[in-house]
Structure 1
Amino acid sequence: MEGILGLLPIILMFVIFYFLLIRPQQKKQKKVQQMQADLQKGNRIITIGGLHGTIHALDEGTVVLTVNDGTKMTFDRSAVREVLNQD
């Protein structure tokens, strides 16, 4: 019984870390992955580098963006940070 009481603070710290750090990070990561999976042609997006553009074409792991002057650039899907609109 004393052994269990000695481990109780460590177990309690692990539970607190899980609910305050690990679980929210997993939820955030899942939300980002879902957003990247739901990308569609015509969506206006922002990349992790801050580039604003419109999706011209999609591939399994890449996104082709068109920027204001008509330039087309290819990025990995994981480089998409935010979708500005859902056209």
Structure 2
Amino acid sequence: MSSQGMSSIIMIVALFAIMYFMMIRPENKRKKKAQEMREGLKKGDTITTIGGIIGKVVSVTNDTFVIETSEDRVRMEFAKWALSSVGVQTSEQPEAEKKSKKNEVPEEPVDEIPAETEEK
């Protein structure tokens, strides 16, 4: 094999290695973490579903869980894959952005409303 052919093979292997460490491995870690969260679900946990429904877990089976969503004891059953997070998920906005918006000074309200003039 020529040195150029060997160089091409090394570059292809390097490309696959970079792709594995940048894309495939983090995705597998994320899936494993989500699976562990679903398996660790227990009665009494407050959860958020992928649809944004917040409730308290009242029972858990192998494939499903039942939550209570309000004081009226409304119960709903979900497949475990529908679990988004344990705890109340309020928004996707990072904490730093929330704090900077709180410190902004709001615009002062305008007290005068311009009078409308009618042309006759």
| TM-score, with length taken from structure 2 | 0.67
Matches within 5 A, 1:53-72: 53-68=55-70, 69-72=72-75
Cα distance per residue 1:11-57 (max 9 Å; x no partner): 11100000000000100100000000000000000001100000011
Gaps of 5+ in 1: none
Q: What is the CA-CA distance between 1:10 and the residue it aligns to?
A: 1.0
Runs of 4+ that moved beyond 3 A: none
The reply to whether residue 80 of structure 1 matches residue 83 of structure 2 is: yes
Larger radius of gyration: 2
| TM-score, with length taken from structure 1 | 0.91
Whole-angstrom distance in 2 between the partners of 1:6 and 1:83: 47
Instruction: Tell me: higher relative CO, structure 1 or 2? Use CA pairs within 8 A at least 6 residues apart.
Output: 1
RMSD: 1.3
Whole-angstrom distance in 2 between the partners of 1:6 and 1:80: 45
- Percent identity over the alignment is 36
Gaps of 5+ in 2: 89-120
Aligned residues: 85
The reply to whether residue 18 of structure 1 matches residue 20 of structure 2 is: yes
Q: What is the CA-CA distance between 1:8 and the residue it aligns to?
A: 1.4
